[in-house]
Amino acid sequence: MARQEQRSACPIACALDLLGDRWTLLVVRDMTLLGKTRFSEFLESPEGIATNVLSDRLQRLQDSGIVISGKDSEDGRRVLYAMTKMGLDLLPMMLELAVWGAKHRPQSGVPKELQERYLADKDQFLSELRERVKRSSSSILPAE
């Protein structure tokens, strides 16, 4: 996955130039659906991402404008990561991927209640989730 490489005008291919990598999408999942904001939290995810891979993917996501980072307003020594507006727009795609996984990968576990709420009213579910994810960036100090 070369940075900013573009080989076609297809919107899917262009999106995959930034996202077409399993680890990238797992970091996006951590930040959108699991509410994680810190490097150490991403490392703890059960898939076991390596430190150097995580650093690389976080840098790429920032270079692409999908993620921002900054100092924690409550503890200036701590760095937090959060989705930008561009990153928040990935929520519908991530949720459809989750629905597919829950349906076709029987070994996966997802709370049935959560899935039913999403399928009953996708727009409402998305707007609640979007607000929650937005809040996770509120402790990031603006860059000087």
**Residues at the contact surface with its own copies, assessed by CB under 8 A:** 1, 6-23, 25-26, 29, 33, 45-48, 65, 86, 89-90, 92-94, 96-105, 107-110
Place of tokens 């459809």: 96
- Specify the residue, 33 or 43, whose C-beta has the smaller distance to its own copies: 33
- Specify the residue, 45 or 69, whose C-beta has the smaller distance to its own copies: 45
> Rounded to whole angstroms, what are the CA distances from 27 to 57, 75, 125?
8, 23, 21
CA distance 15 to 18: 6
* Best CA proximity match to 68, nearest among 80, 76, 54: 80
- Specify the residue, 106 or 142, whose C-beta has the smaller distance to its own copies: 106
The distance of closest approach from Cβ of residue 12 to its own copies in the complex, given in angstroms and rounded to an integer, is 5
